[in-house]
Chains A and B, each alone.
Chain A
Amino acid sequence: MLTTHHPRRSCSRLAVMFVVAVSAAVMSAGTVADTLNIYSARQEALIKPLLDRFSNETGVEVNLVTGSGDALITRLTREGRNSPADVLLTSDAGRLYRARQAGVLQPVSSDALTAAVPENLRSPDNLWYGLSVRARVLIIAPERVNTDELQDYEDLADPQWKGRICVRSSGNIYNQSLVAGMLAQKDRAQTQAWLDGFVRNFARPPQGGDRDQIKAVAAGQCDVALVNSYYFGAMLQSDNEEERRAAEQVELLWPNQSNRGVHINISGAGVIRASEQPDLARELIEFLVREDSQQWYAETNNEYPVRDSVSPSRLLQSWGDFKADDLDVSELGRLNAQAVMAMDRANWK
């Protein structure tokens, strides 16, 4: 019985292998056509229109999967050399740093990229490039805040702000990168002392998103909130009258203008190591930093362009010029874990 079974089994096994091999060969032949596969931590609505524009212009078909940055990096790591992805898009510098550490990116460079993206907003080894800039600003209730007393993030640790500050949870990446940015420029003890004082001044336990903090300032629950600038912009342009009214009651304040500058983070992109068409992938990134694309970021998402040559939208200009922290944004990724630990110790929920 057993002996008669064996040959037949190995025969069928061979047949299965053959089918697998042939279909695999066919499949890989099929993907040679001009398509780019993208893993994106940026949400579809915030990137798809631009990708569609790229497709229309070049005829390259663009496929998209969105998800959280860390999960996508895990997927990339696991897929290894067989990953179908060509480009990784992220919505913060920390994830780019981690993708680099995980070894899932390959270097690409071109004059267009180095000319467009300032040095502190790309990796020194050409593994990733910043695409747009988001600033973490202060939102204040003008009638309750004396701007002489509030100039820097650092001021918010002062006891006079007790019960007057709203901010979201420390699980939020932009809060983490703000603290990481501080750790990069001050020593640990200073940062921890600032955190302790800052957390003691919260008007309420951290909750909700950035828009909720702005609404809370407008409603009088607190006097100062820490938010990303584009949320303020989106509220000012909102179809919802209530949101618009709330945003109109408050003002934007650029912190740290007389010293290191306002904290910024970036969205960015890198080419996946497994990609067999790095040139096409590079073309996409070049397209994303091109002037018209950069304009689109500013106008549609209320983000700041990475290119100095592109002026932001009228709304963004109305908030005035500002000085941005010129810290190498890789540092935000390197110090992210330390920042989270410091926030844990300060009991920032």
Chain B
Amino acid sequence: MEIAAGAELTAKKPRRISLWRGGMLVTSLVIALPVLVIIGSLFGDYSPAWEHLIETVLGDYVVNSLLLMLGVGAGTLLLGVSAAWLTAMCDFPGRRFFSWALLLPMAMPAYIIAYTYTGMLDYAGPVQSLLRDTFGWRYGDYWFPEIRSLGGAVCMLSLVLYPYTYLLVRVAFQEQSTAVLEASRSLGKTLPATFFRVALPLARPAIAAGVSLALMETLADYGTVSYFGVSAFTTGIFRTWYGLGELQTAAQLAAFLMLFVFILFILERQSRRRLRFYRTGTRQPPRRIVLRGWRAITAAGLASAILIAGFLLPASQLTVWVLQDPLRAAEPAFLQLAGNSFLLAAIAAACCLLLALFLGYGKRLFPGFAQTTANGVVSMGYAVPGTVIAVGVLIPFTWFDNVVDGWLRQTMGVSSGLLLSGTLGALVFAYVVRFLSVSLQTVESGLARIRPSIDESARSLGYAPLSLLQRIHIPMLRGSLLTALLLVFVDVLKELPTTLILRPFNFNTLAVRAHELASDERLADAALPALAIVLIGLLPVILLTRNLASDNAAS
């Protein structure tokens, strides 16, 4: 029997595999299309604007973006890893609360948190005014950190982006076996040594995934840097397009940005190519280190500080703005806006998850440079501003539409108009291009922790790849899959520029409304939709935490 089954497996294998591989190739190509369109601009003409950019502002753009990356990298690493360690591995008063509450800042669009902090800390804002009134100071008499600066941008972005690292690393910590950590401690390592030498290195794929997501989002950010007057690379892209009227040059700048990210991506993968990080088979959750006394206070204090700075303060400022005139802020179409946002986010999150599973698992089935490269290319969309991706989607879609239309006009004398562009389908596709990276990295980092020997033994028992995925990997990956779903959902909820350009007529989302009002400098009016984004973003956060909690309780 077994021999027969084995023979059948090998006989079937080639066709199935080529189908899977073929499917992966086609899917990757389609998703990569917008990115390739942008990259393609590198082969076009280089306008004289380049000379001007190099002579004047390009250096600033590059240096500021690198500094931003450095700062946000350090910030998200510090906040995310320490929050993950505290809630996953330690026990202190309020731990269960903090373990989900620390996700909340994620639902805050970066430019909104920037507006709220500026409202509070600006020279003309209440804090500094109070200081001046109290001490009789005038402008120039005292020093106060300038919120609208590179440092301010680093703080704002770190505060809303650390949850990526936190989520991914916490899952990784939770999956680390108690046995490994206890072995380390029983071998005489101190707790800090265990943390730095054992737990942290074991969580490396998750840390790398979390931080790189935060960095890509940083590179793509336009709202925060432009409000703070920081000349970052994205500022440069838009200034070149809008100011100089050079779409081609702007696309070339974006293409260089993508190449830079791609190289980082490959380098990071190569550097841990020989390292393997598997969780052990036991599903026993780690025994938590119980903190007491000042340690418990410090832990709770740290978690509270992060929560206050990343969520409570900005959310209160938004609430204050809403309450200034609640009637004017409310509008009849509000529920529809919320519904649109929710629906789009849910659909896009589901699409991204399925594709990530398909591509991530495919890479596991057929490891190799080609697959890594393909997954790298489809991940590029996350590092460029949404407007650029939107143009990348617009070009092939309208091309297709116009070719079909032209052919129909010629042969049958009828016009098909635009079939793809201007539809919600095109918008969801653009979201996939932009956010697939998020789900893919999450799924891949989850898969990386599953020992391949499990696959091998299951395959030798006659499981075909699909049923192996269904019966073994998906249950083991549950945490990662839910995380991927949540991250994309919240990202789409906040998404603005792609929606703006590609949406059909009369289609609005909360993010569009919040942005339009905020960019008209009507912060108080923008507060309600912004707050609604945060509240809707809460739903999946709660769902996820419940699921993970029951997971832990069950095991």
Contact = CB atoms under 8 A, between A and B. Distances in A.
Given A27-B417, A349-B229, A216 B244 contact: no
Contacts of A68: 242, 387, 500-501
A81 B398 CA distance: 11
Given A79-B398, A219-B124, A74 B242 contact: no
A20 B226 contact: no
Nearest to A339: B243
B520 interface: yes
Nearest to B500: A67
B358 to A, nearest CB: 25
Contacts of B235: 171
A275 B522 CA distance: 34
A345 B399 CA distance: 38
B423 to A, nearest CB: 11
A23 B54 CA distance: 51
Interface string A93-122: 000001000000000000000000000000
B506 A21 contact: no
A219 B123 CA distance: 7
Contacts of B512: 66
Contacts of B414: 21, 24-25, 28
Contact of B390 (A71, A84, A231): A71
Interface string B242-275: 1111110000000000000000000000000000
How would you classify the secondary structure of chain B's contact residues: helix, strand, loop or mixed?
helix
A13 interface: no
Chain A interface extent, by class: 35 or more
Contact of B412 (A21, A63, A69, A345): A21
A24 B416 contact: yes
B524 interface: yes
Determine the main DSSP class of A at the interface with B.
Answer: helix
B517 interface: yes
B222 to A, nearest CB: 10
Interface stretch (A127-135, A149-157, A206-214): A206-214
Interface in B402-425: 402, 404-405, 408, 412, 414-419, 421-422
Nearest to B404: A20
A44 interface: yes
B149 A205 contact: yes
Contacts of B49: 337
Given A20-B404, A207-B228, A212 B122 contact: yes
A75 B244 CA distance: 18
Contact of A75 (B124, B146, B501): B501
A219 B139 contact: yes
Contacts of A67: 500-501
A59 interface: no
Contact of A37 (B394, B404, B505): B505
A215 B124 contact: yes
A239 interface: yes
Interface in A18-70: 20-21, 24-25, 27-28, 37, 43-46, 63-70
Interface in B110-127: 118, 122-124, 126
Given A21-B408, A66-B516, A67-B500, A218 B226 contact: no
Given A63-B505, A218-B124, A340-B239, 16 more contacts: A63-B506, A65-B504, A65-B506, A67-B500, A68-B501, A71-B497, A74-B394, A79-B418, A82-B415, A169-B229, A205-B148, A207-B228, A207-B229, A208-B122, A208-B148, A336-B244
Interface of B: 49, 52, 56-57, 118, 122-124, 126, 128-129, 138-139, 146, 148-149, 226-229, 231, 235, 238-239, 241-247, 324-325, 328, 387, 390-391, 394-395, 398-399, 401-402, 404-405, 408, 412, 414-419, 421-422, 497, 500-501, 503-508, 512, 516-517, 519-522, 524
Q: Which 5 A-B pairs have the closest CB atoms?
A: A207-B229, A63-B505, A24-B416, A215-B124, A340-B243
